[in-house]
């Protein structure tokens, strides 16, 4: 609290003790990151003992969600945390550190909790300076977030935005009927187990053993997709970037030119050997029967080869279907019995490049035009959809609709609950007619504010 420099000739540390620019914030976006916290406390301490073995190792930062704040003794309350975050964005990093840490109005340990970082156990009982490197990470992480626009908070604000916006970007997740929940039903929590391109090339049967269970079946869609179609009908839909791969938006009537399927879709399939393409449903029968679909073009060229007089089985033929042939077949392969390529649905696997359309459209077209972003039913953890809010200008309002809030991005308005319920109530209030058999005509929705937030609201069907 004392601003008077010490008289004993020591230099008062006025420059920020917390080096807020020292940390590359890009590295701290994930849930946990390895951080080399070599605190002075640890390295200089004489009585450090048994834990020496791992004291040089990188430590994992433990992130703290708002609903976990109360778990940290002496940590910030939610109200304090929200106030500190706002203050940081208002005054900037250096001024913020000066009025908190330099003036000792609050400890670094407590401040870490305001920015969602849990004080690590290995720093327990350490002097407060030991928390400075961690606080630097915490502040940089918070500061790199797009600050919430203060003028948008209420349901009315959300409805007004819907009504006045002309170029709305909608980001949709895989949703309740989507791929990941289907995989979860199959006991596959990690989609990477099934959708790894290298595994697919080695053994496509792993993918096709579950593919029949994730095939798009009926042409049905949810009220949420009906809502996107309604935005299109009102001339307000700029682009729907979707993580869905089952074409569910198209079922609702969203036009292909209004949609980017960020993870590809089942709409087409491509031969992994010769790149021959077919409409997706051409291989659906095979998939349903549990067969691995084979390339008709490959089969044809193999048959033609076999009919040649010498019967040579070299696969490097001049057959027109074998365009774009990569240099991947080794010499030993050339003398194996030729096999046709496997037809792979055009969904994007891990290890494959994303459809180029995404970046092209977002950066060279939509970025300039967008006047509202609505994120529906995705936690925004998976690229490339997760990148969208950060790529758009920061003054474009952003509304979040999902069951649970996210902490790594600040939206202007959070509308929490069943997405179908939220969008149906928004339409009701906007005077728009969202008709869907899943929305009862007499549905009443109750909206309650979330304590501690001006801009967070929970939607619940009355009596549900
Ligand atoms: Zn082929």
What are the mean pLDDT values of the chain's consecutive 10-residue runs (464 residues total)? 36 44 41 34 34 42 86 92 91 93 94 93 90 91 85 97 97 67 67 79 87 77 94 97 84 92 87 94 91 94 82 50 48 67 90 76 91 91 78 93 84 95 96 92 93 92 88
Q: How far is the CA of 63 from the centre of ligand 1 (A)?
A: 48
Tokens for 128? Answer: 């407060």
Q: How far is the CA of 355 from the centre of ligand 1 (A)?
A: 21
CB 388 within 8 A of CB 379: no
Q: Where are the alpha helices (DSSP H) in 266-356?
A: 284-288, 296-307, 331-334
Q: How far is the CA of 293 from the centre of ligand 1 (A)?
A: 11
- Known binder of ligand: residue 419? no
Q: How far apart are CA 72 and CA 414, in angstroms?
A: 25
How is 211-240 classified by DSSP, letter by letter?
HHHHS--SS---HHHHHHHHHHHTT-EEEE
Q: Is the pTM of this model over 0.85?
A: no
Q: How far is the CA of 331 from the centre of ligand 1 (A)?
A: 19
Return the CA Rg of the chain.
Answer: 28
Q: How far apart are CA 110 and CA 10, in angstroms?
A: 27
CB 456 within 8 A of CB 416: yes
Cis ω before 384 (30° cut-off from 0)? yes
Q: How far apart are CA 233 and CA 225, in angstroms?
A: 12
Report the pLDDT value the prediction gives residue 3, as an integer from 0 to 100: 36
Tokens for 28? Answer: 């701290």
Q: How far is the CA of 327 from the centre of ligand 1 (A)?
A: 15
> Which residue do the tokens 């798009």 mark?
216
Q: How far is the CA of 294 from the centre of ligand 1 (A)?
A: 8
Tell me the catalytic residues.
263
Report the pLDDT value the prediction gives residue 309, as an integer from 0 to 100: 72
Neighbours of 337 (CB within 10 A): 7
CB 355 within 8 A of CB 245: no
Q: How far is the CA of 256 from the centre of ligand 1 (A)?
A: 27
Q: How far is the CA of 198 from the centre of ligand 1 (A)?
A: 18
How is 312-325 classified by DSSP, letter by letter?
---S----TT-TT-
- Known binder of ligand: residue 271? yes
**Which residues does 337 contact at the CB level (< 8 Å), separation at least 6?**
313
Report the pLDDT value the prediction gives residue 56, as an integer from 0 to 100: 35
Q: How far is the CA of 322 from the centre of ligand 1 (A)?
A: 7
Tokens for 277? Answer: 């393409």
Q: How far is the CA of 275 from the centre of ligand 1 (A)?
A: 6
Report the pLDDT value the prediction gives residue 334, as an integer from 0 to 100: 53
């Amino acid at each position: 609290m004392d601003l008077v420099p010490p008289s004993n000739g020591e230099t008062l540390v006025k420059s920020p003790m917390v080096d807020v620019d020292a940390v590359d914030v890009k590295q701290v976006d994930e849930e946990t990151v390895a951080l080399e916290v070599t605190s002075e406390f640890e390295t200089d301490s004489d009585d450090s003992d048994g834990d020496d073995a791992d004291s040089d190792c990188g430590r994992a930062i433990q992130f703290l969600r708002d609903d976990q704040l109360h778990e940290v003794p002496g940590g910030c309350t939610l109200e304090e945390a929200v106030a500190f975050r706002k203050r940081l964005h208002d005054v900037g990093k250096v001024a913020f550190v000066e009025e908190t840490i330099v003036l000792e109005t609050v400890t670094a340990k407590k401040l870490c909790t305001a920015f969602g970082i849990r004080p690590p156990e290995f720093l327990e009982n350490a002097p407060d300076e030991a928390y400075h490197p961690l606080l630097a990470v915490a502040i940089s992480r918070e500061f790199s977030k797009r600050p919430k626009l203060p003028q948008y908070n209420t349901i009315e604000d959300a409805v007004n935005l819907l009504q006045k916006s002309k170029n709305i970007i909608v980001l949709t997740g895989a949703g309740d009927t989507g791929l990941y929940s289907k995989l979860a039903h199959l006991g596959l929590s990690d989609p990477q187990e099934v959708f790894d391109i290298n595994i697919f090339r080695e053994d496509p049967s792993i993918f096709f053993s579950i593919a029949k269970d994730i095939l798009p079946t009926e042409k049905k869609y949810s009220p949420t997709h009906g809502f996107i179609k309604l935005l299109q009908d009102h001339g307000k839909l700029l682009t729907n970037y979707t993580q869905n791969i089952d074409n569910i938006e198209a079922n609702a009537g969203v036009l292909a030119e209004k949609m980017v399927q960020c993870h590809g879709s089942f709409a087409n399939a491509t031969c992994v050997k010769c790149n021959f393409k077919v409409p997706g449903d051409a291989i659906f029968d095979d998939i349903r029967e549990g067969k691995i679909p084979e390339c008709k073009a490959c089969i044809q060229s193999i048959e033609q080869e076999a009919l040649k007089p010498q019967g040579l089985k070299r696969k490097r033929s001049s057959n027109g279907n074998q365009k774009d042939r990569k240099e991947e077949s080794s010499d030993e392969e050339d003398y194996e019995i030729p096999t046709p390529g496997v037809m792979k649905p055009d969904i994007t696997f891990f290890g494959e490049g994303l459809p180029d359309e995404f970046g092209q459209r977002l950066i060279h077209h939509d970025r300039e035009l967008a006047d509202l972003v609505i994120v529906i039913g995705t936690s925004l953890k998976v690229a490339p959809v997760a990148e969208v809010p950060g790529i758009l200008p920061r003054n474009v309002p952003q509304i979040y609709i999902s069951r649970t809030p996210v902490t790594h991005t600040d939206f202007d308005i959070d509308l929490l609950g069943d997405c179908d319920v939220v969008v149906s109530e928004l339409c009701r209030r906007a005077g728009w007619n969202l008709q869907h058999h899943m929305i009862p005509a007499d549905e009443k929705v109750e909206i309650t504010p979330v304590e501690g937030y001006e801009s967070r609201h929970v939607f619940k069907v009355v009596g549900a």
